[in-house]
Structure 1
Amino acid sequence: MSDTISSKVKRVYIEAAIKGTGALNNPTLMQEVKALYDPKQPKATYSKETFQRLVDLLRQRLYPELSNDEALFDFGRKVFKGYCTSSTMGSMMLPTLKFMSPVRLISLAKRLLEDAGLGQCNVEQVTECKCLAHYHNFLFAPHGVAGAAIEGLITSGAKKVRYHIEALTSLGAGLYNFDIVYEWN
């Protein structure tokens, strides 16, 4: 993969955000969402700017009382659930997660995130219960990525999952370089 993020984000991740957060059940919110994504005329891909505007809109409307980091963490968890229930790949993957090791899950997430157009990810296994993930030119902020990863790890059977973010660099235009350490029992 090149050193820059794709200029497009696949529709399935837009839909995962909308379905996972329950925005479809909120007609007022969906009126605002339609300015960015029309469920009756979906495109195959969307610009990274459209994805970022959608994330910001949903975060602001659904989590007005939470800090940005707390809101993004919960948003990431819901996007993971939305992906597993609204996409063909996610619905096929979900039943297999309990048979997958957490390390294998994080490695699989690497390919999915890159394929989605969200950025680059490299994963190092530090110990049997610890991984270090390096995210480059990433479109989704660190706490959102962590929320999605934590939800996946819990679904795969990991217990007492913890994370901490290291080396955060904002690249502007909603892009980030960061590392996240994931640990579990």
Structure 2
Amino acid sequence: MELFDEKDQINGETIISVKYKPDSVSSFQLDLVSSKSWDKNIGMKIEKITDKDGKLITYTHKSDIITLKFDQNAKPEFIKINYSGIPKDGLIISNNMYRDRTFFGDNWPNRAHYWLPCIDHPYEKATCEFIVIAPQHYQIVATGLKKEESILKENKKLTHYKNEVPLSTKVMNGNRCSQICYSIPREI
């Protein structure tokens, strides 16, 4: 996920690892608040959804639900969703009492889907990684163990946290999540 000083828009890339049960689904759904007709500036807009080889995956994004559809014999193991937008909720973008710009993940109990493609239900659990590209002066804190912090070009830095314990999205606190792993048991 990429954050900016000068705007509230976030750019996201979520990679989902899917484990299918035998004779299971040809489609499944994820939650993600979409841009609304009454305010196109708020909500997330999907740019594309691909498999690990870059092949486009058919999807619809209606009523805050992404429905992914694929051939029963060609179920993608990894799904990459590129999206951007301004979160209405869940990821709070504001200034603290010292007037410092902050991004705070407040996903309780099911508000992660305002900024993150996921199955946003308290009973679902997944492992995750938080990879954040932000201005260099930001301090990034997230769920998991810090794996990397490196300086990039243009006064940016990359911070990477990894959590190998399956968690509900409501407690995946931190700033961003760029990889989620789900087990999809049923057809939708």
> What TM-score, normalized by structure 1, do the two folds share?
0.33
User: Quick check: which one's strand share is greater?
Assistant: 2
Computing the radius of gyration from Cα coordinates, the structure with the larger value is 2
More contact order relative to length (CA 8 Å, sep ≥ 6): 2
